[in-house]
Amino acid sequence: MRRRNDHLRSDLSNEMSINKRLNIERRLLWMWNKRPQAVGRVAITAIVPGNVTYHVYWDGRIEKHIPRAIQKGYEDKYKYIYHDEKGQKYEIGFASIKPTKVYGAKSGTVNLFVLRCVQDVYRDGNKHYKLTINSQRDYANEHTWASLLGEKLEVCFDDIVCNGFSMPDGSPVVSPSHLNGKNSDRRYLRKDRSGKILTSPLLRTIMISKGKLHGMKHYINLVGKVYEVGLIR
What tens digit of pLDDT does each residue of 172-201 get?
988 888 899 988 888 777 777 777 776 555
- pLDDT at residue number 56: 93
Give φ, ψ of 181 to 5 degrees: 70, 25
> What are the beta bridge partners of residue 56?
62, 82
DSSP letter for 35, please: S
DSSP letter for 117, please: G
> What are the beta bridge partners of residue 140?
113
- 10 Å CB burial of residue 190 (0-12, 13-18, 19+) is middle
Strand ranges in 44-191 using DSSP code E only, listed in sequence order: 52-57, 62-65, 77-83, 89-96, 98-101, 109-114, 121-124, 127-133, 139-141, 160-162
Is-contact 139 113, C-beta < 8 A?
A: yes
- pLDDT at residue number 98: 93
Residue type at 60 in one-letter notation: G
Give φ, ψ of 19 to 5 degrees: -65, -40
Q: Which residues of the chain have pLDDT under 70?
A: 1-47, 198-233
Alpha-helical (H) ranges within 70-168 are 142-155
d(CA 65, CA 60): 16
What tens digit of pLDDT does each residue of 55-72 get?
999 888 999 999 989 999
